[in-house]
Structure formats: structure tokens, C-alpha cells
Amino acid sequence: MSNKDIAAFEYHLGYTFKNKKVLIEALTHRSFYHENPNKAENYNERLEFLGDSVLGFVMVEALFLSERRLSESVMAKTKSYLVKESILSEIANAIALGTYLRLGKGEEATGGRTKRSLLADAVEAVLGAVYLDGGYEKSQELILRLFKEKIDAIISSGEFHDFKTELQEKTQMLFSVIPEYQMIRQEGEEHRKTFTVEVHIAGDMFGTGCGKSKKEAETIAAREALKKLQE
């Protein structure tokens, strides 16, 4: 990476590294490492493992210290929601992370810069790099800044709620059956697909959901079905 690219990414991230090598490692995918052994000493999977733990602890600490005095179950659901792939990939996009990744030619050709799983892993690697470079307080400060809006929005809206589990429990109690989810449509390019799902209970359609993943679509359909059951 050029000094210009490093400085540009640090600007987007809002953190300046003392050790630029740890940042470069965090931005290096294994595909680049294997294709360019003379240009990369390491790739980012070890940092990803570290960053995952740092992120998880910062989230749990923040939720525990929240003025709302959240219950254990709410903290667990909220933390699980905040560290999932779709949220991390949104954080990656907010800091233009995909632009600065070092990818192999094959990964580049298959849209690696926009793959949610790859972006999510790279976010964790960068957080691990910040922890190594600046310590816990700097990584905590960065994480809380990057995730603040999402933490506040999720706690206030309850989007972490497990609608599918609640629907299953309710349908078993009311009808002695479990919900059936049916994929009715997939649209869009390979890495930008949208999924439409219907949920049926005892043969009747109770809800429809559309999302960027099958799981998201099923969750929205389950939420709609619960509303219908309550009515």
C-alpha cells in the first residue's frame, strides 16, 4: 500500500496508526498473501480473531453499563445482533474499507470488495490492529464511535428481537404446528440479491418478507405474521 492509501484509510477510520505494518496486515486478505508472497508478510485472519474478541467485550461492557439496566437476555440478543455479518459490513462501507483491501486477482474478479463476509472479517481485523497499536482504550473509543448510532437505534427499536422463535412458540401453542417458510422470489445480481419469503401456518399464508438475505426476509415475514396473529 502507498503512504497515500494508508493516510486515506486512516482518515476514513478516524485513527492514525503508529505501526503501519499492523494496519497493512489487517487489510491483507489471504488471497493476496498466497498470490504475492514477496509483497505480504502475513494476512489478516489472526487479527480478525483478536478483533472479534475485542469487539465482543467492548459491546458487552457498553450494554452492561447502559443506563437502561438491560437484562442478561436483552444484552445477549443485542450483542449478537450488533456483531453479525450484515452490521459489520455496513460499518465497513461507512469507512470505505473495501476500497483499501489487498486482494488476490481471483477474489478481486469475483467482487471481493463488496462481499459482506469478507468486509465483516476485515472490520474485525482492523479493530484487532487498533487494539495492538493503541491499546484497549483506543479500540474501545473507536468501536463506540463507529457503532453508537446502531447501538442506540437497536436498543430503542428492539430490532434484535427473535421474531422467528417467538412465532414458532406461539404457533405451537395455538395450532400445534410450526411455521413453514417458502422462498417465492430471488432478484438481482449475485452479490446484490433480494429475497422474498412467505410464512405459512397450518396451510395459510400469514406474512411476507423481503430482505438482502433469506434469513432477513424470514425474520420480516415472521414479524408480520406475529402482528396478524395479535390482530
3-state SS record for the chain: CCHHHHHHHHHHHCCCCCCHHHHHHHCECHHHHHHCCCCCCCCCHHHHHHHHHHHHHHHHHHHHCCCCCCCHHHHHHHHHHHCCHHHHHHHHHHCCHHHHCECCHHHHHCCHHHCHHHHHHHHHHHHHHHHHHHCHHHHHHHHHHHHHHHHHHHHHHCCCCCHHHHHHHHHHHHHCCCCEEEEEEEECCCCCCEEEEEEEECCEEEEEEEECCHHHHHHHHHHHHHHHHHC
Instruction: Establish whether 133 is a catalytic residue.
Output: no
Q: Is residue 11 domain-shared with residue 41, that is, in the same domain?
A: yes
Percentage of the chain beyond pLDDT 90 is 62
Read off the pLDDT of residues 122-133 as tens digits, 9 standing for 90 and up. 999 999 999 999
Which CATH number does the domain housing residue 217 bear? 3.30.160.20
Instruction: Please provide the size of the chain in residues.
Output: 231
Instruction: Please give the C-alpha separations between residue 132 and each of 7, 22, 164, 183, 202, in angstroms, as whole numbers.
Output: 19, 8, 39, 44, 54
Give me the chain's average pLDDT, please.
Answer: 90
Q: Is residue 136 domain-shared with residue 179, that is, in the same domain?
A: no
User: Which has more confidence, 189 or 225?
Assistant: 225
> Which distant-in-sequence residues (6+ apart) come within 8 Å of 28 by Cβ?
40, 42, 43, 44, 101, 102
Show which of 97, 129, 157 is a domain's final residue.
157
Q: Is residue 92 domain-shared with residue 16, that is, in the same domain?
A: yes
Residue 160 confidence (pLDDT)? 59
Catalytic member of 52, 121, 133, 198:
52
Extract the C-alpha cell encoding 112. 471481493
Q: Is residue 183 domain-shared with residue 87, that is, in the same domain?
A: no
Domain that holds residue 52: 3-157
Q: Is residue 70 domain-shared with residue 136, that is, in the same domain?
A: yes
Q: Is residue 51 domain-shared with residue 104, that is, in the same domain?
A: yes
Q: Is residue 67 domain-shared with residue 120, that is, in the same domain?
A: yes
Read off the pLDDT of residues 196-231 as tens digits, 9 standing for 90 and up. 999 999 999 999 999 888 888 898 899 899 999 987
Q: Is residue 151 domain-shared with residue 167, that is, in the same domain?
A: no
Region 23-39: mean pLDDT is 93
If one counts the domains in the chain, the total is 2
Residue 124 confidence (pLDDT)? 97
Scanning the structure block, which residue is given the C-alpha cell 461492557?
A: 61
Catalytic member of 124, 133, 218, 224:
124
Q: Is residue 197 domain-shared with residue 145, that is, in the same domain?
A: no
Extract the C-alpha cell encoding 142. 473507536
Residue 41 confidence (pLDDT)? 87
Instruction: Establish whether 121 is a catalytic residue.
Output: no
Residue 61 confidence (pLDDT)? 95
In the predicted model, is pLDDT for residue 139 greater than 70?
yes
Q: Is residue 109 domain-shared with residue 75, that is, in the same domain?
A: yes
Q: Is residue 54 domain-shared with residue 119, that is, in the same domain?
A: yes
Which CATH number does the domain housing residue 70 bear? 1.10.1520.10
Show which of 157, 182, 217 is a domain's final residue.
157
